[in-house]
Amino acid sequence: MSENRVPGVGERAPSFRATASTGPVALEDFIGRQSVVLYFYPKADTPGCTREACGFRDARAEFEKRNVAVIGVSADDVDAQQRFARKYALPFPLIADPERAIIDAYGVWGERTRPDGTKTVGVRRWTFLIDKTGTIRKVYQNVSPDQHAGEILRDIDELGLAERMEG
């Protein structure tokens, strides 16, 4: 198993252009405009991934108030991402990365432990907080899907990344 290097805090976020549940999306679409929460998850419409995605969905207004975009990435295909987004009314792009181009660029493919304790190889539940210059400000590894959105919102405020939008 060859694991790619994980880009760290202070480094430029690896660029990407891909197809998402909402259509084409690229990191460059956000540079200069807003910060990005780029979160990776193992598989669409599985229990932990659904709780995590719904947490981001439920906190949508708080992310919008801070001018922060949320983007999900998994190795699922576009159809699976679109079904997942429709089923749970997920309002943000879910990138289909079955070739693992983005997954590998961010080094998130590797050994992970499932909730039942079994070890497997796949997409790890990691998140990158990227500021509007394209710089990684925080890397979250071994994320808890239930608390993640709130944890990131606190960090956005603490890191001074929130650009308050009048709502």
What dihedral angle (degrees, nearest 10) is formed by the CA atoms of 67, 69, 70, 73? Answer: -160
May I ask the CATH class of domain 17-158?
alpha beta
Residues 6 or more apart whose Cβ sits within 8 Å of residue 94: 20, 21, 22, 44, 53, 71, 72, 73, 74, 76, 81, 82, 84, 85
pLDDT in tens, the chain (167 residues): 445 789 999 999 999 999 999 999 999 999 999 999 999 999 999 999 999 999 999 999 999 999 999 999 999 999 999 999 999 999 999 999 999 999 999 999 999 877 788 899 999 999 999 999 999 999 999 888 999 999 999 999 999 998 765 54
Task: Please tell me whether the overall predicted TM-score, pTM, comes out greater than 0.85 for this model.
Answer: yes
Q: What CA–CA distance (Å, rounded) separates 80 from 48?
A: 16
The residue with tokens 């999900």 is 72
Residues 6 or more apart whose Cβ sits within 8 Å of residue 25: 17, 18, 19, 71, 93, 95
Neighbouring CB atoms inside 10 A of 103's CB total 23
pLDDT of residue 130: 98
Residues that are catalytic: 49
The β-bridge partners of 121 are: 111
